[in-house]
Amino acid sequence: MGNIQVMDELLSNRIAAGEVVERPASVVKELVENAIDAGSKSIAVYLVEAGLTSIQVIDDGAGMDDSDAMQCFARHATSKIHHEHDLFRIRTLGFRGEALASIAAVAKVHMKTSDGQTGTTLVIEGGEIKQHDKADLRQGTAITVSQLFYNTPARLKYMKTLQTELGHIMDLMNRLALCNPDIAFRLVHNDQEQLYTNGRGNIAQVLAAVYGVANAKKMVPFEGESHDYRIHGFAALPEITRASKNYMSFFVNGRWVKSFLMQNAVTDAYHTYLPIHRHPIVVVYIESDPQLTDVNVHPAKHQIRMSKEKELLSLITDTIRTTIHQASRVPQIEQPK
Ligand code: ADP
Ligand code: MG
């Protein structure tokens, strides 16, 4: 007999978890994105010790029936992709069916979910269902992830300070809130509220919640269009600057993406307006045919491949440059006649 064996699922999930679950913020990301995909109008996140002790996400979305609840922790279990051709028109944030399986492999999980018809609670440890009971029928899902990395001590050691881990979560929640002004978000850390948005679709309210009222008042709206792309968003007047490039946010078809090229496109727009080593606060929403974008680059889905990238980058630079130029032009004193 040869030496090669196919790994059992629990072991392969734990290995795959390393890619999906890097730190507490990755858990928050996956759980909140699932809540968004489930059509939630209100999503609350409660953290203890920056999520290392526990992370709870409560939503009022579609919930799951009992059989889906039993299925959802299996690897590659997803309700979002049924056919190969679905891959080319992904509109949901998730689609790999890996997140819950990965999280359950490296933490203790408690879930309560209801679709309004059945209610289920599950306790999962080490990827295995340990308890399965009925629950009340209030529609939505509440998942609590505790003792993250309890069975992968090497990963636990790698965690930075609580402040750093909390910083990553705040960064993520700010972006999710900016991206979804129609959803009310609440983030609470050790009983202290860190973020609250009202979910009434008003981006100005979200900007104020994220960047403070004074900064939000100095952000100018813009919009622009090219053959294949439409963009809109807010660009801060050059008088408010930041030492980091992290205050530029880009969303492509409702997904937060990180892109050096887009950051450079914005930097070009502000060229001559900003002191050296200072960066603007900018939020850019990009819409395009999903066929022009490939999000299936990395499990965390932060990177994206875009066709016709040059067209998009010039659209960003030109639109923001014009907006900044007009908004910061010194008003001309009228000549007396
Ligand atoms: P994916 O999001 O890629 O489909 P996940 O492992 O994150 O994979 O979730 C598996 C499935 O569990 C989802 O496809 C969805 O059907 C269900 N699910 C997970 N979280 C929720 C939630 N908060 N509300 C409703 N359904 C959920
Ligand atoms: Mg998911």
pLDDT tens per residue across all 337 residues of the chain? 788 887 777 777 777 777 788 899 999 999 999 999 999 999 999 999 999 999 999 999 999 999 999 999 987 777 766 777 766 666 677 667 789 999 999 999 999 999 999 999 999 998 889 999 999 999 999 999 999 999 888 888 888 899 999 999 999 999 999 999 999 999 999 999 999 999 999 999 999 999 999 999 999 999 999 999 999 999 999 999 999 999 999 999 888 988 999 999 999 999 989 998 999 999 999 999 878 877 665 655 667 778 889 999 999 999 999 999 999 875 555 556 5
Residue pair 73/138 in contact (Cβ under 8 Å)? The answer is no
Same domain, 180 and 292: no
User: Is 4 inside a domain boundary?
Assistant: no
Same domain, 177 and 299: no
What 3-state class would DSSP assign to 267?
Answer: helix
Residue 95: nearest ligand to its CA?
Answer: 1
User: Is 213 inside a domain boundary?
Assistant: no
Query: Distance from the CA of 288 to the center of ligand 1, in angstroms?
Result: 25
Looking from the CA of residue 141, the nearest atom of ligand 1 is 23
Ligand 1 atom 25, closest CA: 63
Which segments of the chain are extended strands (E)? Answer: 42-48, 54-59, 108-114, 119-125, 128-134, 140-146, 184-189, 192-196, 219-225, 230-236, 248-252, 255-257, 282-287, 293-294, 305-306
Q: Which residues partner with 287 through β-bridges?
A: 230
The predicted pLDDT at position 64 comes to: 96
Residue 97: nearest ligand to its CA?
Answer: 1
Same domain, 40 and 88: yes
Same domain, 13 and 82: yes
Query: Distance from the CA of 101 to the center of ligand 2, in angstroms?
Result: 10
Which segments of 166-245 are extended strands (E)? Answer: 184-189, 192-196, 219-225, 230-236
Ligand 1 atom 2, closest CA: 94
Same domain, 311 and 258: yes
Same domain, 42 and 141: yes
User: Is 334 inside a domain boundary?
Assistant: no
Same domain, 172 and 312: no
Same domain, 322 and 177: no
The predicted pLDDT at position 298 comes to: 61
Same domain, 249 and 159: no
Residue pair 219/277 in contact (Cβ under 8 Å)? The answer is no
Residue 111: nearest ligand to its CA?
Answer: 1
Instruction: Give the whole-angstrom CA distance, residue 95 versus residue 79.
Output: 8
* Segments forming the whole domain that contains residue 35: 9-196
Instruction: Give the whole-angstrom CA distance, residue 59 versus residue 205.
Output: 21
User: Is 189 inside a domain boundary?
Assistant: yes
Number of folded domains in the chain?
A: 2
Residue pair 200/183 in contact (Cβ under 8 Å)? The answer is no
Looking from the CA of residue 97, the nearest atom of ligand 1 is 8
Of 30, 72, 122, the one to substitute when testing ligand 1's pocket (max ligand atoms within 8 A of C-beta) is 72
Query: Distance from the CA of 30 to the center of ligand 2, in angstroms?
Result: 5
Position 38, amino acid = A
Query: Distance from the CA of 109 to the center of ligand 1, in angstroms?
Result: 14
Query: Which of 129, 164, 196 delimits the end of a domain?
Result: 196
Same domain, 27 and 126: yes
The predicted pLDDT at position 6 comes to: 77
Query: Distance from the CA of 311 to the center of ligand 2, in angstroms?
Result: 31
Ligand 1 atom 27, closest CA: 34
Same domain, 224 and 312: yes
Same domain, 140 and 248: no
User: Is 210 inside a domain boundary?
Assistant: no
Query: Distance from the CA of 279 to the center of ligand 2, in angstroms?
Result: 33
Instruction: Give the whole-angstrom CA distance, residue 248 versus residue 174.
Output: 12
Cα–Cα distances in angstroms (integers) from residue 263 to residues 13, 186, 315, 328, in the given order: 35, 28, 13, 21
For the domain that residue 322 is a member of, what is the CATH number? Answer: 3.30.230.10
Looking from the CA of residue 99, the nearest atom of ligand 1 is 6
What 3-state class would DSSP assign to 187?
Answer: strand
Q: Provide residues with CB under 6 Å of ligand 1.
A: 30, 34-35, 38, 59, 61-64, 72, 77-80, 94-101, 141
User: Is 2 inside a domain boundary?
Assistant: no
For the domain that residue 57 is a member of, what is the CATH number? Answer: 3.30.565.10
User: Is 25 inside a domain boundary?
Assistant: yes
User: Is 206 inside a domain boundary?
Assistant: no
Looking from the CA of residue 57, the nearest atom of ligand 1 is 23
Of 32, 34, 301, the one to substitute when testing ligand 1's pocket (max ligand atoms within 8 A of C-beta) is 34
The predicted pLDDT at position 331 comes to: 57
Residue pair 47/188 in contact (Cβ under 8 Å)? The answer is yes
